[in-house]
Structures are given as structure tokens and as C-alpha cells.
Amino acid sequence: MRTEFNFDRIQSVEFCVNLTGADGERSNYLVPADRSVQDALRQVLAATAAVIEPEDGSWPTFELSEKYASRETLRAALAAEEMAAIRALHAEEGWPTNAGALANPARLAYYFGVFRDDRNRKLLGVRKATQFKGAFRGRFVSVIDDTLRMVADKVFKLDNEFDFLISAQHVYVLHPAAFEHIAEFESYAAERAKEKALALGETVAFLDFTGLAKYVERHRRAARLVAALSGRNDLGTITKAMFTKAAAETGVVLERSGHKLTPARGSELGCLELLDHRRYTTALRPGQKPAFIAASRRPVGH
């Protein structure tokens, strides 16, 4: 992270907000901010950088199909297909100035600081705007003479940490739920869910994905699993015999569809979870092996 941006040599700081218009469309605006607000944003960035880096320097990779805790340190490649909304946010420049952007906090979706270092590299710190609308404590800023300034009055709050940081190469995540919301992953997964499901049939040739393609169009969790599976490069190594055995052990009912297999009604999600290594059994005692669904499948040792 620190090879992509020099946190000790920040040359400029800008403050921007994302507002929801009357038509439901969202737009970004630059809000003029004085030195006190810029310094406060630097402090928020420093606080975020201090807690977001793993102690051992090993970054867990963000995965679409994973269920995360409210606070976890993760890294995602900015070039990944599903990061389209985040790439666009980082690339955007020339925001229109709107000194009155904070007049109606209910319209505020999120805010972000734009930082540039001594090599003109850009880093964004992004925060979902829940605290702007909620409890008022901490750093407060107000619009005075069309410029944001630090004040003692309880107008609105700058949070202590950003939800995630965006460099030119990666996204560094501290609060996964806020990141997923701003990145619009639900929309991304839903838009191409059917297409991606059918494409999986070319890799996992023993499964008929026709029924699954219809299923994922109506189920958000299934759509995200399909999006995650589409980015995997090991699906072609799954064998029919081993998959059938694992399905029987973990409660996934399969039916024949011509020369292929397909999940029975009610087993569609289970079939996708099994493909994503999220259904498993244990054999610690005699008798039938209990089956479980994994919320996380982080490898041992990571």
C-alpha cells in the first residue's frame, strides 16, 4: 500500500461528496474546504492507514462470494471486472463545485477525500455517509462563506476512519459492507448473472446450468456466487465423480438432465455453494458425517 502512495508527503487534499438527486441519480461534487478541514482529512487518512494494514503484511483478497465481518482488512485489484464503479470513482476528475452540497444531509450517499502525494499519485479515502446523518460527535465542519471550516457547532461529523482507500492499483478495505454498497456489487452481479451462469457450463461440463441461469436472475446471493465463480481458474479441475459424492454428503440433490446433472428444485443455491467450496463435512466421530455451510473459506494459515 505504501509503495503506491506516499502518506508522508501529501501535497494536496480535496473534499468531495456523492449526492442523490431528485431523479434518483447520483453525482459527485467538490466542496471547497479550508485548511482546518484539509488537516482533519489528513488525520482521518493517517488513522485509517494505521489500522488497515495487516501486521504480517499479508493482505487477504476480497471475494464477492465471501461473507465478511463489519471490520476486516482486505485488498482487491482495481482492474478486476467487478470493480467498474470503483475504477470510475478513482478516475474521475473535474468535479463541479457545489458549496451548498451539505445543505440537505439526507441526499448524501458518501463522501471522499482526494489526496495527491509528491509524485502526483492520487489516493481516495471513501466513507459511507451514515454518520453525517446520525449522532453528532467528533470533528464538525460547516459552510462559511462558501467554504467548509471546522467549527464547534454540531453541524455534521467527519468520521475517524475511511471505509476504504483506492490507489491506482488496489482497493484497501476496512469496512466491507460499506465498500460493497458503494461498489454496487449487487447491481453488477444481477446484470450479468444469467450470462455468467450459462458460461460456467463450458467449464464445468458435467453440469447443466440452464435451470441455474434462471434461478440466479431472481436470487441475489446466487448471483454473487456466480459472479465469484466466474473469476475462478480452477473449476475445470472438478470431477463429476467427486462432485457427485460431495453433493450427496452435503445435502445437495442432483438430477439427470440428458447426459448431464442439474440441481433439483431447492438445491440450486447449495449446488453453487458446493462449487465455491462452501459446503463441507467433518469426520471426527463414528456415524454419519455432519454437513455444514461455510460463511468463510479462508485457507488455513492465511
pLDDT digits (tens, 9 = 90+) for 230-277: 988 899 999 999 999 999 999 999 999 999 999 999 999 999 999 999
Asked if residue 83 has pLDDT above 50, the reply is: yes
Of these ranges, 104-113, 149-158, 160-169, the one predicted with the greatest mean pLDDT is 160-169
Q: Please report which residue ranges of 184-258 form alpha helices under DSSP H.
A: 185-191, 193-203, 210-216, 220-230, 240-249
Question: What is the model's pTM?
Answer: 0.78
Average pLDDT over residues 94-105: 87
Please report, as a single letter, which amino acid is at residue 61. T
**pLDDT given at position 222:** 93
Cα 124–Cα 126–Cα 127 angle in degrees, nearest 5: 160
C-alpha span between 274 and 244 (Å, rounded) = 10
C-alpha span between 66 and 23 (Å, rounded) = 33
Asked if residue 136 has pLDDT above 50, the reply is: no
Taking alpha carbons only, the member of 301, 278, 282 closest to residue 290 is 282
**pLDDT given at position 134:** 36
Average pLDDT over residues 149-172: 80
Residues of the chain with pLDDT > 70, as a percent, come to: 90
**pLDDT given at position 144:** 52
**pLDDT given at position 155:** 52
- What residues contact residue 71 under an 8 Å CB cut-off, 6+ apart? 174, 175
Query: Lowest-confidence range among 23-32, 63-72, 101-110, 234-243?
Result: 101-110
Helix/strand/coil for 288: coil
C-alpha span between 110 and 101 (Å, rounded) = 12
Helix/strand/coil for 171: strand
Count the Cβ atoms, other than its own, within 10 Å of residue 196.
Answer: 20
